[in-house]
Amino acid sequence: MPDPRIARLRLIRTPSIGPVTYRQLIARFGSAETAIEALPDLAARGGGRPPKVVDAGVAEREIATTEKLGARYLFLDDADYPPLLAELDNAPAAMTIRGDLSLTKRTVVAIVGARNSSAAACRFARGLAVELGREGVVIVSGLARGLDTAAHSGSLATGTIGVIASGIDIAFPPENRELQESVAQQGLLIAEQPPGIEPLARNFPHRNRIIAGLAVGTVVVEAAPKSGSLITARLANEAGRDVMAVPGSPLDPRAQGCNLLIREGATLVQSAADILETIRPIDPRMVRSPAIPFDAMPPTDPGDAERRAVADLLGPVPVAIDELVRQSGQPPAIVATVLLEIELAGRLERHAGGRVSLT
């Protein structure tokens, strides 16, 4: 019997197929094998050529490398996929992990902040992690220098999750190699990128969505107005999670991001007790059934008139999918199918906030 991971990885690693598209394909066709067979017809309906699916040999070699590194795959439809993360529309279709996955079933809080953080902020973040750990809370962060390092150091003994923007075999920054290995041995290490991939700048926002998605709430300790930490906070807010921030001096540029978050409605945090008060009672999604079924997507086949009704509304400016449903007058299933066809033809780009545009 063929390894089902091979077909899944072939689909996931195909460049034009992102997490949203993968979820829709599996929801419609039931398996990666069937979805791959359907790609040429779907792309033709969308007015283009089908994406070049990754060769089976490439997927087999990646699986062998991952297993050699002592890691394993976690797919979106696996029963032990973290429930809160699966709530995201763009939840990772596959991740490689090392360590204790059961940590994701406990209450998880993200602690993030500046890489060039002050000594006082690092000490405060480490103290928060220690105190929250005593209360059974698991800490998730991004294994960057500065605040992330402090958060992991404070929670290593009680439960910590590190999410990295590289392959699971790459340590970044290099000085955190030992800490990253400790997280994998004593906690949980997660990577969305395949082994061997360096931490490219474009991958950090993807990492940040995983951090925000795993947690019931995100605490920003110190951050500049335009920083990755604020991206994580924004993603947490979009996912309906609690956003908390530690206030700082208006004279310190590293505090401006936190003060801005508080002004915009984030919960002001001065102690671990403030965080515990905010996140409790536990989000009910944390205790639901561990099975994460894909939403059913009926095998809808739009006619030419229905395709035009949706396609004519698209342009280079991103538009919300809900707006396409409203203006086209078509059912959501029809709109989703037309967008899927156009995307597989290489003519559609998906943006944050459920928006799409023509390439």
3-state secondary structure 18-41: CHHHHHHHHHHHCCHHHHHHHHHH
- AA letter at 283: D
Q: How many domains does the chain have?
A: 2
Task: State which H helix or E strand residue 319 sits in.
Answer: strand 319-320
Say which CATH number the domain at 9 has.
1.10.10.10
Structure tokens at 307: 């395709």
Q: Which domain holds residue 205?
A: 96-287
Which DSSP string corresponds to 151-199? Answer: HHHHHTTT-EEEEESS-TT--SSGGGHHHHHHHHHHSEEEE-SPTT---
Q: Which of 276, 289, 234 is nearest to 107 (CA)?
A: 276
Q: Match 């078509």 to its residue by tokens.
A: 330
Same domain, yes or no: 136 and 229: yes
Cα–Cα distance measured from residue 340 to residue 135, given in angstroms and rounded to the nearest whole number: 45
Same domain, yes or no: 31 and 149: no
Helix axis angle for 256-263 and 228-238, nearest 10°, is: 20
Measured between alpha carbons, how far apart are the two ends of the chain, in Å? 40
User: Last residue of some domain: 287, 321, 348?
Assistant: 287
Using DSSP bridges, classify how beta strands 72-75 and 160-164 pair: parallel, antiparallel or unpaired.
unpaired
Give the number of other Cβ atoms within 10 Å of residue 354's Cβ: 16
User: Last residue of some domain: 264, 287, 310?
Assistant: 287
Same domain, yes or no: 151 and 279: yes
pLDDT at 346: 87
- Check if the beta carbon of residue 82 is closer than 8 Å to that of residue 102: no
- Check if the beta carbon of residue 121 is closer than 8 Å to that of residue 147: yes
pLDDT at 16: 82
Same domain, yes or no: 137 and 69: no
User: Last residue of some domain: 254, 287, 320?
Assistant: 287
Say which CATH number the domain at 251 has.
3.40.50.450
Dump pLDDT digits (tens) for 103-132. Answer: 999 999 999 999 999 999 999 999 999 999
Same domain, yes or no: 139 and 158: yes
Tens of pLDDT along the chain (359 residues) come to 678 899 999 999 998 899 999 999 998 898 999 999 999 999 988 888 888 999 999 999 999 999 999 999 999 989 999 999 999 989 999 999 999 999 999 999 999 999 999 999 999 999 999 999 999 999 999 999 999 999 999 999 999 999 999 999 999 999 999 999 999 999 999 999 999 999 999 999 999 999 999 999 999 999 988 888 999 999 999 999 999 999 998 888 889 999 999 999 999 999 999 999 999 765 555 444 444 445 555 556 788 888 889 989 999 999 999 999 999 999 888 888 898 889 888 889 888 778 899 98
pLDDT at 280: 79
Find the DSSP H helices in the chain: 4-12, 19-29, 32-45, 56-68, 83-86, 119-134, 147-155, 177-186, 204-214, 228-238, 256-263, 272-279, 304-311, 321-328, 332-344
Q: DSSP letter for 285, please.
A: G
Same domain, yes or no: 125 and 141: yes
pLDDT at 234: 94
Quick check: helix, strand or coil at residue 253? helix
Measure Cα distances from 39 to 52, 59, 60 in Å: 10, 18, 21
Q: Is the four-CA dihedral 148, 153, 157, 163 of positive or negative sign?
A: positive
Cα–Cα distance measured from residue 77 to residue 25, given in angstroms and rounded to the nearest whole number: 12
- Check if the beta carbon of residue 220 is closer than 8 Å to that of residue 136: no
